[in-house]
């Protein structure tokens, strides 16, 4: 299957795509609203990119580790990840409530990136079958 990108290459590219889209949205928010709103869009994108990279690394380590110990470590890591995300959103809500929507927009850039990557993978799959 020459010419196909490996899954690992796609997974390494996704955080950069998240940052790119959130950067474009950041510029739009700066132009349309305030600089602080643009900063929160960018911070949301950075949080999403870091979260995805952390998730990718932890799943890779999980698949390579001992099964019995891996379950305990996985539960702890996902619990920690959930607590950190909740803490981040709580801090923004408490101290910067006017900019929570900007942060959510940046944090949600992972969704269009996944949709585009899924569509690209599906189109490559259909080309391969025909």
Q: Please list the pLDDT of the chain residue by residue as tens digits (130 residues).
A: 444 457 788 889 999 999 999 999 999 999 999 999 999 999 999 999 999 998 888 887 777 777 777 777 778 888 998 999 999 999 999 999 999 999 999 999 999 999 999 898 888 877 766 5
CA 102 vs CA 35, 50, 95: distances in Å: 11, 18, 14
CA 35 vs CA 21, 61, 96, 103: distances in Å: 17, 39, 14, 13
pLDDT of residue 109: 96
pLDDT of residue 68: 73
pLDDT of residue 24: 97
Is 125 within a domain? no
Is 33 within a domain? yes
Is 130 within a domain? no
pLDDT of residue 3: 45
pLDDT of residue 130: 57
Per the structure block, which two tokens stand in for 70?
Answer: 């891996």
pLDDT of residue 86: 93
Domain that holds residue 36: 7-120
Query: What is the total count of domains within the chain?
Result: 1
Q: What is the sign, positive or negative, of the torsion defined by CA atoms of 122, 11, 91, 27?
A: negative
pLDDT of residue 4: 44
Specify the pTM.
Answer: 0.83
C-alpha span between 63 and 11 (Å, rounded): 16
C-alpha span between 86 and 80 (Å, rounded): 10
| HSE value, Cβ hemisphere, 13 Å, CA-based, for 41 | 22
Q: For residue 121, give the nearest of 2, 12, 10 by alpha carbon.
A: 10
C-alpha span between 56 and 62 (Å, rounded): 10
Is 45 within a domain? yes
Is 12 within a domain? yes
């Amino acid at each position: 299957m020459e010419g196909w990108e490996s899954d690992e290459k796609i997974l390494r590219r996704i955080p950069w795509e998240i940052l790119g889209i959130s950067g474009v949205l950041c510029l739009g928010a700066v132009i349309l609203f305030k600089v602080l709103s643009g900063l929160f869009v960018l911070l949301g994108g950075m949080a999403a990119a870091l979260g995805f990279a952390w998730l990718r690394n932890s799943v890779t380590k999980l698949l390579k580790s001992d099964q019995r110990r891996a379950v305990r470590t996985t539960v702890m890591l996902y619990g920690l990840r959930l607590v950190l995300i909740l803490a981040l959103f709580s801090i923004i809500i408490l101290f910067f409530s006017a900019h929570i929507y900007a942060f959510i927009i940046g944090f949600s850039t992972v969704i269009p990136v996944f949709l585009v990557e899924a569509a690209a993978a599906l189109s490559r799959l259909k080309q391969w079958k025909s």
